[in-house]
Amino acid sequence: KTFEIGKVFRNEGTSPEHAQEFTNMEFYWSFANYEDGMKLVREMYIKIAQEVFGKTEFTTRGFTFDLAKEWVKIDYAEEIKKQTGIDIHTASEKDMMKKLQDLKVEYDGKNKERLMDTLWKYCRKNIAGPAFLINHPVIVAPLAKMVEGTSTVQMFQPIIAGSEVGRGYSELNDPIDQKERFDSQQKLIDSGDTEAMMADHEFVEMLEHGMPPTCGFGFGERLFAFLADKPLRELQMFPLMRPKK
């Protein structure tokens, strides 16, 4: 088992829930899978809430939830179908775009990965949690191991107050599969998808030397922002500031 707490940078936009630079915690647990990870993360979030806030029940962003209660598991495709009527496994890009237009949801990109992600983001706003989002399509999780016999992956995301507050999965340790997924992501990049993952050929080379079954998980300061019901930048010691004119 190993973990790291430190500053990270993501080259994306900022919002009340996202910062370009933030403090992040990641752990890797060898010979464990995503089921083990979900158990540990639930225990960890309850412990954090008790130690920092002295409670497990919170009201934030218009939702009330209790971290000490059961964490339900939400199937990615089933939840989208339940809320929108769209079956992401069979729907075309045209079907998804029409549904988003009907829902009056703005979207960027017209490939299936972006459209699925936008549909999910519409649905998650209606979920109080605590819950784990599972069974993500492989196209949205290029680093996670497959669920055997399906087109989904062994990934989980804690959900509270209509948003994800962490991400973990059984790490993909098959170098051949990993290279094929990076190639698929590169095609998305070439087609103009700015959120697709860049290929990491050195990572593939390391997998060729061998990696045990592993569960990885990470979360940042967003968790504390949600529990405190404040914008993310108010929970950072040195937030990004507007330059002086």
What's the token pair of residue 5? 């707490």
Cα separation, 78 vs 82, in Å, equals 6
Structure confidence at residue 74 (pLDDT): 97
Q: Is the dihedral of CA 130, 136, 142, 143 positive or negative?
A: positive
Query: What are 29-69's pLDDT values in tens digits?
Result: 999 999 999 999 999 999 999 999 999 999 999 999 999 99
User: What is the rounded distance in angstroms from the CA atom of residue 50 to the CA atom of residue 196?
Assistant: 37
pTM for this entry:
0.87
Mean pLDDT of all residues belonging to the chain: 91
User: In the beta sheet, which residues pair with residue 9?
Assistant: 21
Please give the share of the chain, as a percent, with pLDDT higher than 90: 66
Give the model confidence (pLDDT) of 149-196 as tens digits.
998 999 999 999 999 999 999 999 999 989 988 888 888 888 887 777
Q: Is residue 25 a contact partner of residue 3, using CB atoms and an 8 Å limit?
A: yes
